[in-house]
């Protein structure tokens, strides 16, 4: 019986080779125009047998390579949702309500992007499915309001109404897993999470290009659909080269030092 099932699976994969590519998905967020960090994450994912990618938004903003990061995401045919920096970079509305760093970087980003790139960013959906699971930049509760989920109480409210087994999100730049069972949420600290069928999960994948958890390494996760695991990954990259790029672009120096402060 086992041999028959194995033969059937091999035949199915032979006829459908894309099945190989969908077992593992690298899911990342908040690239923030940091091409060196993005390339490091993609290289690390491929070294771990991943060639399927999903991005949770904020491809641009803060960093010196917005056009190049958009081109890279398009080149790898990455599943994408829209972040608040993607939205603010792709329209002409006032930025006066933002802090000075965000405002100056977004003004520069707007001047650096082509009309086609702006149109592409604005066309990205606020949320989308990844199999039975869901991708969003901030919160599923009114995703266009860009609310922050920063603790187990925020997570509990989000998870209570969450219909999908897993929701992957970013926005806070801090990786964390919230697990929901018995009508309450718990923050789980582990490098690998085993997904249980009787629970729901809210997974913050951290930030590729602007970590704010005290660890300057790029952050992302690998989701293994077959083994039902989520592995948190941290990857080193050439931070100094990105700092020089920020200075060359004439962006605020704080955006450069924040990369190594990771705060």
Domains and CATH numbers, the chain: 28-261 (3.60.21.10)
Of all residues in the chain, the percent with pLDDT exceeding 70 is 92
Q: What mean pLDDT value characterizes the chain?
A: 92
Q: CA end-to-end span of the chain, whole Å?
A: 55
Q: What is the pLDDT of residue 148?
A: 96
- pTM equals 0.91
Choose among 160, 116, 112, 114: nearest CA to 139: 160
Instruction: Round to whole Å and give the CA distance between 142 and 79.
Output: 21
Q: What is the pLDDT of residue 189?
A: 87
Q: What is the pLDDT of residue 12?
A: 43
Of all residues in the chain, the percent with pLDDT exceeding 90 is 87
Instruction: Render pLDDT for 91-120 as a digit per residue (tens, 0 to 9).
Output: 998 999 999 999 999 999 999 999 999 999
Q: What is the pLDDT of residue 161?
A: 87
Average pLDDT of span 182-210: 94
Q: pLDDT at residue 165 above 50?
A: yes
Crossing angle (nearest 10°) for helices 253-261 and 239-249: 170
């Amino acid at each position: 019986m086992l041999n028959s099932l194995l033969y059937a699976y091999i035949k199915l994969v032979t006829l459908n080779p894309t099945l190989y590519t969908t077992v593992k998905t690298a899911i990342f967020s908040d690239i923030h125009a940091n091409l060196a960090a993005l390339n490091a994450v993609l290289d690390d994912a491929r070294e771990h047998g991943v060639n399927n990618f999903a991005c949770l938004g904020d491809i641009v903003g803060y960093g010196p390579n917005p056009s190049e990061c958009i081109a890279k995401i398009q080149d790898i045919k990455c599943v994408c949702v829209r972040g608040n920096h993607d939205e603010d970079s792709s329209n002409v509305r006032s930025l006066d309500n933002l802090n000075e760093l965000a405002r100056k970087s977004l003004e520069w980003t707007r001047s650096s992007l082509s009309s086609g790139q702006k149109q592409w960013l604005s066309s990205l959906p606020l949320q989308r499915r990844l199999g039975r699971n869901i991708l969003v930049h901030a919160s599923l509760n009114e995703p266009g309001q860009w609310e922050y989920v920063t603790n187990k109480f925020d997570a509990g409210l989000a998870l209570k109404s969450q219909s999908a087994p897993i929701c992957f999100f970013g926005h806070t730049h801090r990786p964390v897993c919230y697990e929901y069972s018995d009508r309450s949420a718990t923050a789980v600290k582990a490098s690998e999470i085993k997904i249980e069928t009787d629970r729901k999960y809210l997974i913050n994948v951290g930030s590729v290009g602007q970590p704010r958890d005290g660890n300057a390494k790029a952050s992302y996760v690998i989701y293994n659909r077959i083994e039902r695991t989520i592995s948190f990954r941290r990857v080193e990259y050439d931070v100094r080269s990105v700092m020089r790029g920020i200075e060359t672009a004439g962006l605020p120096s704080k955006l450069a030092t924040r990369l190594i402060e990771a705060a």
